[in-house]
Amino acid sequence: MTDFLAARSIMAVSLGFHIIFAAIGMTMPFLLFTAELKWRRTGNELYLKLAKAWARGVAMFFAIGAVSGTLLSFELGMLWPKFMEHAGPIIGMPFSLEGAAFFVEAIALGLYLYGRKRLHPTVHLGSALLIGIAGVASGFLVIAANGWMNSPAGFEMINSGGKFVTENLRNIDPIKALLNKAWISQSSHMTIAAFASTGFAVAGLHALLLLRGKNKPFHRAASRIALAYAAVAAIIMPISGDLSAKNVAERQPEKLAAMEALYETQERAPLLIGGIPDEENQTVNYAIELPGFLSFLAYGDFNAEVKGLKDLGSEEDWPPVSITHYSFQIMVGLGMLMAAVALLYFLFLWKWRDMLEKKWWLMLLGFMIPTGFIALEAGWIVTELGRQPWIIYKVMRVEEALTSMPGLVWPLIVITVVYVAFTLLSVFLMSRQIRFVNQDTLTE
């Protein structure tokens, strides 16, 4: 394995694990806040127990997310020093602000965990909400940096054909870099996806525990709180996805073409369902075509022209087509599945509430546990691989940012072992927490 491939693999492993912890860390505080609010409004001890149980989960994932996020920060500097050296003055501000949001989140978590009997009830309740707000703010700020990599702004090149180095940059504006054109669409879509994926995972876990017949009122309440968040997010998600696709079509036509494995420029371009790209012959086999729908998705016009890869530069500047296409198909397919389950939930809630207790429905929710996280991973693969071969789109190639340090396969092995250990630790702690809940042994 080359050092270049090892460095990219380290980032892939780190991001792949961290994004799950980050999504849970963004969403769980809002579930916690809702349970706490219901307890204060109703006085039902069930919601107090639920709030205490979820508080333990929030603390656990906060700790693991903090460690995995710190590892990523070190990796950026160690693996891609030339990127950090020259891009740091432009895009460093979101990282600094994210650090402030992280500290606010940590302080709010401490107030909530240790202030139940020491703080005014309203202040204690507010601290739970503040954990979630700070967590979402952290996500928005980190994604601002990633958005800048997809849509660079806030600087000018003295020599437009020169390299991206400090001495070749002028008119640096960190505010414009922060407010890049990709930021809002990326961060909003990611946040909505985090709520949908985590909400379905929590709802599905409690649904399966409900099937076991232990502590039914507890798991019923937990599943319905989580499912409410998941369902709303899942229904909004296709709308944010559509806005994101239009944004990508404007900024990164190569990414859009790779997502749909579109090699030839077409008017009334079809949207593909499935399909196996043949990169050698530059065709797609076995796909179901919806004529005009890609044109509409990209430009809001069924007859609009969509550029194919052949008209978007040389092949060395194309993203990897097959994996980008497959990842996009997985993301969209699972997103539509989540939206369908969400609509079914609201239908049952409106017309047939007794269906929410049926075994098949609870089993369906159990099946949904991994779907959101798989879609989340697929979406990030599209975002990152669709930008290749650029670390900063059309400005700096990935290999130009690589460290000169040899032997990167060993850090790859260590990082993989660390993240696998984090995952096993999370599963162990979750299993332990579930046993406590089912034994009804939660204490102050």
Predicted pLDDT at 440:
57
Inter-residue contact 75 to 11 (CB < 8 Å): yes
Residue 260, Cβ neighbours under 10 Å: how many? 28
pLDDT for the residue 167? 82
Contact status, residue 117 vs residue 153, Cβ threshold 8 Å:
no
Q: How big is the chain, counted in residues?
A: 444
H-state helical runs in 80-120:
81-114
Quote the tokens at residue 142: 């980190």
Distance between CA atoms of residues 273 and 286, nearest Å: 9
pLDDT, residue 198, reads 94
Dihedral angle computed from the Cα positions of residues 222, 189, 245 and 341, in that order, rounded to the nearest 10 degrees? 0
Name the band, by pLDDT with cuts 50, 70 and 90, for residue 194: very high
Q: Tell me: the pLDDT tens digits for 206-240?
A: 898 888 877 788 888 999 999 999 999 999 999 99
Separation CA 314–CA 358 (nearest Å): 56
Contact 174, 134 (CB under 8 A): no
- Which of 18-32, 122-136, 279-293, 424-438 is predicted least confidently? 424-438
From CA 319, how far away is CA 390, in angstroms rounded?
Answer: 9
**Cα 288–chain centre separation:** 28
Burial category of 115 from C-beta neighbours within 10 Å (exposed 0-12, middle 13-18, buried 19 and up): middle
d(CA 371, CA 297): 24
| Predicted pLDDT of residue 442 | 45
**pLDDT tens-digit map of 240-257:** 988 888 999 889 999 999
Q: pTM here? A: 0.91
Does 436 have pLDDT greater than 80? no
For residue 35, the Cα-to-chain-centroid distance in whole angstroms is 24
Strands (E), 291-351: 305-306
Residue 66 has pLDDT above 70, yes or no: yes
Does residue 391 have a pLDDT over 50? yes
Work out the average pLDDT over 32-56. Answer: 90
Would you state the pLDDT for residue 444?
38
Q: How many Cβ atoms from other residues are within 10 Å of residue 297's Cβ? A: 23
Phi first, then psi: give them for residue 318, nearest 5 degrees: -80, 145
The mean pLDDT of 118-124, rounded to a whole number, is 90
pLDDT at 322: 92
Q: CB of 313 within 8 A of CB of 208?
A: no
- % of residues, the chain, pLDDT over 70: 97
Q: How confident is the model at residue 75 (pLDDT cuts 50, 70, 90)?
A: confident
Q: Omega of the bond prior to 406 within 30 degrees of 0, cis? A: no
Give the pLDDT of residue 108.
93
For residue range 256-276, list pLDDT tens digits in order: 999 999 998 988 989 888 889
pLDDT of res. 441: 43
The mean pLDDT value for 318-341 works out to 93
